Amino acid sequence: MPAVPIGQIVEFVCGEYTGPGGLSVTAVNTLREAAAGELSFLSNPRYAPQLQQTKAIAVLVPKQIGGNDVRWVRVDDPYFAMSQVVTRWFTRRRMPAGISPQASITPGAKLGRNVAVGAFAAIGDGVTIGDEVVIFQGVSVEAGAVVGDGTVLYPNVVIYEECVIGRRCVIHANTVIGSDGYGFATNRGKHHKIPQIGIVRIEDDVEIGAGTTIDRAAFGETVIGEGTKIDNLVQIGHNVKIGRHCLIVSQVGIAGSTELGDYVAVGGQSGLSGHLKIGSRVQIGGGTAVVEDTPDDSKVMGYPALPFRQFARREALLKRLTAKGELGGHVG
Amino acid sequence: MPAVPIGQIVEFVCGEYTGPGGLSVTAVNTLREAAAGELSFLSNPRYAPQLQQTKAIAVLVPKQIGGNDVRWVRVDDPYFAMSQVVTRWFTRRRMPAGISPQASITPGAKLGRNVAVGAFAAIGDGVTIGDEVVIFQGVSVEAGAVVGDGTVLYPNVVIYEECVIGRRCVIHANTVIGSDGYGFATNRGKHHKIPQIGIVRIEDDVEIGAGTTIDRAAFGETVIGEGTKIDNLVQIGHNVKIGRHCLIVSQVGIAGSTELGDYVAVGGQSGLSGHLKIGSRVQIGGGTAVVEDTPDDSKVMGYPALPFRQFARREALLKRLTAKGELGGHVG
Amino acid sequence: MPAVPIGQIVEFVCGEYTGPGGLSVTAVNTLREAAAGELSFLSNPRYAPQLQQTKAIAVLVPKQIGGNDVRWVRVDDPYFAMSQVVTRWFTRRRMPAGISPQASITPGAKLGRNVAVGAFAAIGDGVTIGDEVVIFQGVSVEAGAVVGDGTVLYPNVVIYEECVIGRRCVIHANTVIGSDGYGFATNRGKHHKIPQIGIVRIEDDVEIGAGTTIDRAAFGETVIGEGTKIDNLVQIGHNVKIGRHCLIVSQVGIAGSTELGDYVAVGGQSGLSGHLKIGSRVQIGGGTAVVEDTPDDSKVMGYPALPFRQFARREALLKRLTAKGELGGHVG
């Protein structure tokens, strides 16, 4: 771990700081867990009371914060500033380097410059791997798939054939891209498989968590738009189109052919029915069941989904009705 | 990709067609995405307006549809007809062939005729693999397991010991069959593991999506009935018995010892408590929490589950009550 | 399978038994599925009617049960007694033995005594593996990770770098420990990754099911306390702290920085928001959305979570209101 002079950090984040200049920062940590010598930050106001007790040597705080403390570094956005500092000085992930002799790479695969492939990874026929790609142990990239420059595939990721992954993507362990969509035509009491002959196309700068599944299209493409970030254990059905810069939290399920605009945020464990149109900048609370088209800029939650305000009104009503002595007085 | 004369397709699907005979079909696609030369279909009435704009060269439509268009091929069931056409002419999955020298196959395993085993697959002692089985890279088939003729195991599937997979099954990447059920006996403040000494038995023609987990029985068998289709990220607990030709959509959880009849359909993200009896042909809406036995032919949804009609009545009531000016008028 | 004299079993479980002494038990099974020669047990009263029809040669029953049957072995806790008997005589999991020549173990890894490593497992630089550890095929243990004595890692488990796994833990197939938490700082319309530089620390005697994901901390540690048992397809966010001896059922999601006390039980498919404090001995029903701090010994369920009693009252009220003829009479 490095020791970074506080002055360098203040300059890097364009901060305002009046404390002593000779300090060095050895790590970044939360207010509660920071030890002497570590930098911390305040982004969630919930943790403001910890500003007093923290042992951090310096703290990134919002510009408009009241009070004063020699340890404070005032910045526009402490969370973003912290992320920049960590990225610049304190990242330490160790990656595989070079091509493992224990990998299986078919002669028909094309690898870019400076590619790393871990042990027991399998690269199929006709695969194209860009420059600076890192492939961990146990990854499968099947025939005809494309992986863009600078992308990282963690252990046991599976990319089914012909799928296309953009540049600078990150896909965490045991995630599956391009498995068959759930498509069956029922005839005379049997469910007949509809071959899923489309692909998945993931645009640049997408991050996908661990254990997530994204199905290939029945025809055409399942698309994940540029800059979208998907969490763990998310299910994306066939022919779904997700726009740019969306946030899809863990355990969300999006059924087939549903389309999301840009900057949509979907809370954890929400479910979206198939064949819906969800506008841009829609916010969907956690655990919500979306069963209807939802216009731009909506905020919805509940089972089934209601506008935030309506959901709150319904909850308040139900609380009032079930309070002792009222309508529900002789119930239960 | 082939070019299939339209006449062959019309004959194959027993369709009615009055358009030009010399056309050739190069692919199948949705109405919106079909390009010139491609065949499309109308199964969901929601997409009927796209019949005008589609660039498809021909469209499979229901026999009873009103209007007329030289491009239409009238059939009994356009969705099934489409699936048959795709299966017959337009499937293209590339499978591993032969036994990879990089696979690990114990001498005590028995392999049928024409088996493919990919790199880094591990086949344990006493395993029996049927004819024409395809095992992708990274699959584990543990000691004593049985895999029936014609079954396909996609990358990194894990079959725990002694489990039995039927014929013509398809299991997608990173799915786990036969992990220990969640069984602990709590005694003096500690949870003691109950060894799970049963197995999973999967009957013929079952398809299972990616990232799904099916636990082995504590004793006896967890059973998935013939022809049942299970989606991605589904959890099936120990000793569950699922009947024949059921449809279990993604992220469903079925707790231990619950039994489903035949032709049960379970919507995405639903949860079924343990030790329940769910009859045949039961339909369970998405996101439903089933906590009671459910008779044959029921249709239920909600948290907790209610009959469809009752759920709708409750929703209508709540909407009315929370409408402005009514009972909830001075709330929120 | 062994044949264990009934007398040995009765003595081992400190049971009361008046039946014939010369019998032998060949297996343990449920009341319904037990065959001649097999031992069964009654723990869930729901199955009491099956006591008559069972073919079991002997049955572990609660001490206080009414009636009499020569086959009964009365014990304090039949479920625990059964688990002890199975563990003592009827377990049969076959484990890998020795170090596979097809594993990839970096010279910088330290292995304890009597370690087993299956084919295609990859052990990174600086990893420490304790004594008697069993690592199945396809497992990845990345640089600097620690695995305690007697722990079992089933196929394709991934342990990211620097994570620490305790002693006697069991982690089932395709589970991921230490993937990056979901942390992004949004700035000028882009989501910038916050490097996740903390770890996951799992204490002794923890069992984790298949397909589960536990994210590493942004800073510091994500912690799973001693003796806690986690089911399949569970999502644990970064910086979550779970206490000792908790039970987390399948498909639960716990968002970042939430803390649970000891002996918390979380029902299947429940979701806990981030930054919450959940006390000790809290019981959370299945499918519950917990969005507020929850004090010790609470019992909550619902969306959003309510105390059990309040949830029941609300359900009763809604049932009454929607009954035909009442307030909802002219609805739907």
* Residue A17: Cβ within 10 Å count: 20
Q: Where are the domain boundaries for CATH 2.160.10.10 in chain C?
A: 104-309
Give the minimum alpha-carbon distance from A213 to chain B in angstroms, rounded to a whole number.
7
Q: Where are the domain boundaries for CATH 3.40.1390.10 in chain A?
A: 4-90
The one-digit pLDDT tens for each residue of chain A (332 residues) are: 679 999 999 999 999 999 998 899 999 999 999 999 999 999 988 899 999 999 999 999 999 999 889 999 999 999 999 999 999 999 878 899 999 999 999 999 999 999 999 999 999 999 999 999 999 999 999 999 999 999 999 999 999 999 999 999 999 999 999 999 999 999 999 999 999 999 999 999 999 999 999 999 999 999 999 999 999 999 999 999 999 999 999 999 999 999 999 999 999 999 999 999 999 999 999 999 999 999 999 999 999 999 999 999 999 999 888 875 444 434 33
Predicted pLDDT of residue A151: 98
Cα-Cα-Cα-Cα dihedral sign, residues C159, C161, C164, C168: positive
| Strand pairing class (A190-193; A184-187) | antiparallel
How confident is the model over B117-142, as a mean pLDDT?
A: 98
* B68/A161: higher pLDDT: A161
Find where tokens 């530089």 sit: C197
Say which DSSP state B99 is in: B
Distance in Å from the first CA to the final CA of chain B: 61
Predicted pLDDT of residue A330: 40
Interface test with B, best of A136, A157, A161, A180 (most B CBs within 10 A): A180
**How many whole angstroms separate alpha carbon B241 and alpha carbon A220?**
36
For C1-37, write each residue's pLDDT tens digit: 679 999 999 999 999 999 998 899 999 999 999 999 9
Chains with at least 3 CB pairs less than 8 angstroms from chain C: A, B
Predicted pLDDT of residue B321: 85
Among all residues of chain A, which has the CA nearest to that of B32? A220
**How many whole angstroms separate alpha carbon A206 and alpha carbon A151?**
9
Predicted pLDDT of residue A25: 96
Adjacent-strand bridge partners of A188:
none
Contact C170 B193 (CB under 8 A): yes
- Mean pLDDT (chain C) is 94
| Strand pairing class (B146-147; C152-153) | unpaired
**How many whole angstroms separate alpha carbon A232 and alpha carbon A171?**
10
Give the minimum alpha-carbon distance from C136 to chain B in angstroms, rounded to a whole number.
9
**How many whole angstroms separate alpha carbon B84 and alpha carbon A194?**
8
- Show Cβ contacts of residue C106 under 8 Å, excluding neighbours closer than 6 positions: C123, C124, C125, C127
Q: Residue B325 — very low, low, confident or very high, per pLDDT cuts 50/70/90?
A: very low
The one-digit pLDDT tens for each residue of chain C (332 residues) are: 679 999 999 999 999 999 998 899 999 999 999 999 999 999 888 899 999 999 999 999 999 999 889 999 999 999 999 999 999 999 878 899 999 999 999 999 999 999 999 999 999 999 999 999 999 999 999 999 999 999 999 999 999 999 999 999 999 999 999 999 999 999 999 999 999 999 999 999 999 999 999 999 999 999 999 999 999 999 999 999 999 999 999 999 999 999 999 999 999 999 999 999 999 999 999 999 999 999 999 999 999 999 999 999 999 999 888 875 444 434 33
Contact C313 A303 (CB under 8 A): no
| Contact (CB, 8 A) for B221 and B238 | no
Contacts of A143 in chain B (CB under 8 A): 94
Predicted pLDDT of residue B99: 97
Catalytic residue among C191, C238, C275, C330: C238
Predicted pLDDT of residue C135: 98
Q: Which percentage of chain C shows pLDDT scores above 70?
A: 97
* Nearest-5° Cα angle at A306, A301 to A311: 75
* Nearest-5° Cα angle at C111, C108 to C117: 105
* Nearest-5° Cα angle at B326, B324 to B327: 120
Specify burial of residue A49 (Cβ count, 10 A radius: 0-12, 13-18, 19+): exposed
Contacts of B195 in chain C (CB under 8 A): 83, 86-87, 90-91, 93
| Contact (CB, 8 A) for C276 and A268 | no
Give the minimum alpha-carbon distance from C268 to chain A in angstroms, rounded to a whole number.
12
Among all residues of chain A, which has the CA nearest to that of C194? A83
Q: Does the bond joining A155 to the residue before it have cis omega, within 30 degrees of 0?
A: no
Give which of A60, A65, A52 is closest to A29, Cα–Cα: A60
Predicted pLDDT of residue B1: 63
Predicted pLDDT of residue A200: 98
- Fold classified for C104-309: UDP N-Acetylglucosamine Acyltransferase; domain 1 (2.160.10)
* Residue B127: Cβ within 10 Å count: 23
3-state SS class at A95: coil
Q: Does the bond joining A307 to the residue before it have cis omega, within 30 degrees of 0?
A: no
Q: Which percentage of chain B shows pLDDT scores above 70?
A: 97
Q: Does the bond joining C304 to the residue before it have cis omega, within 30 degrees of 0?
A: yes
Contacts of C304 in chain A (CB under 8 A): 315
Predicted pLDDT of residue A323: 78
Find where tokens 């942390």 sit: C183
Torsion of CA C128, C223, A232, C127, to 10 degrees: -10
Among all residues of chain C, which has the CA nearest to that of B234? C233
Chains with at least 3 CB pairs less than 8 angstroms from chain B: A, C
Predicted pLDDT of residue C321: 85
pTM, entire model: 0.95
Give which of C227, C179, C181, C225 is closest to C207, Cα–Cα: C227
**How many whole angstroms separate alpha carbon A59 and alpha carbon A79?**
11
User: Annotated catalytic, C192?
Assistant: no
Residue A7 dihedral angles phi and psi, to the nearest 5°: -60, -40
For A253-271, write each residue's pLDDT tens digit: 999 999 999 999 999 999 9
| Contact (CB, 8 A) for A229 and A248 | yes
Among all residues of chain B, which has the CA nearest to that of C46? B275
Q: Residue B93 — very low, low, confident or very high, per pLDDT cuts 50/70/90?
A: confident
Q: Which percentage of chain C shows pLDDT scores above 90?
A: 89
Cα-Cα-Cα-Cα dihedral sign, residues C237, C240, C245, C247: negative
**How many whole angstroms separate alpha carbon A329 and alpha carbon B8?**
71
**Domain range C4-90, CATH class:** alpha beta
Catalytic residue among A192, A238, A245, A330: A238
Contacts of A233 in chain C (CB under 8 A): 211, 213, 233, 235, 253
